[in-house]
Structure 1
Amino acid sequence: MRILAVDLGKARTGLAVCDEQEILASPLCVVEEWNRQKLLERVTEEAKRLGVGRIVVGLPRNMDGSEGESAQNARAFAQSLQEYSKIPVVMQDERGTTITAHNYLNDTNTRGKKRKAVVDAVAATVILQDYLLLRRNGHAP
């Protein structure tokens, strides 16, 4: 099944998608949108265009596992996305994914404007790859 991942941001939201065999997650795009309704529409449009069977939204927990305002916003967005798109939505802990994304970009010497343009999509890819690993090990729906 194809799965879409969402790294929700205030201004930029990263999207990633995996192949039908759920082996490899790849960056899709970064959506620059402040308006949540328009963002819901855009994410749903991409999900339907790609024929995904599930959407994974990153859950930004604090390092101690607690949930703050960002996590509450992500949960609210995920719920709205499921209601709007009619596609099952699950949450995936995203602690450390942005750091991992920056490390990948450091390894490829991606800097400046190009880095800013792709870091959210790379973070979404990390979220999705983590989710796929949990699925393979039987620890995620």
Structure 2
Amino acid sequence: MSGKKMVLTLYRQNHVRQNWRVDLTGCEYELFFIELADILRQFGIELELAANDEVTIDINSYADLLNAIRISSPSDGLANICIGHVIGKSPRLDLMEDIKRGVTRVAFAPETIPPEDHNRRVCHNCGCGC
């Protein structure tokens, strides 16, 4: 696992509904990302935080908020997948917990993440073995 590099990218957010407004650039989240990166560094994993202001996500729900946070891990063949795709349904709608779950799943169990829809092979139970 040594030398693995991951990038957590934050997309620009347009908060259509104010009840899902979260400041991912504030002190609380900055400290959270530093601590998460420090934990991963102990396992030889580098976590970088980036912002992409070229893409804007309209935030109408918690799922949209998860969609505005992306993870890339080139060594695992994962490019820019949203946290929601990685973790599935959020049990408590706790953004820090969900980010940590998503990042650690990509870091330590990337093979458990299903391919995105456009890369999936669907078996129709025809016996072909796919």
Greater relative CO (CA pairs within 8 A, separation 6+):
1
TM-score (norm 1): 0.30
**Taking structure 2 as the reference length, what is the TM-score of the superposition?**
0.32
Larger Rg: 2
The structure with the greater share of residues assigned to strand is: 2
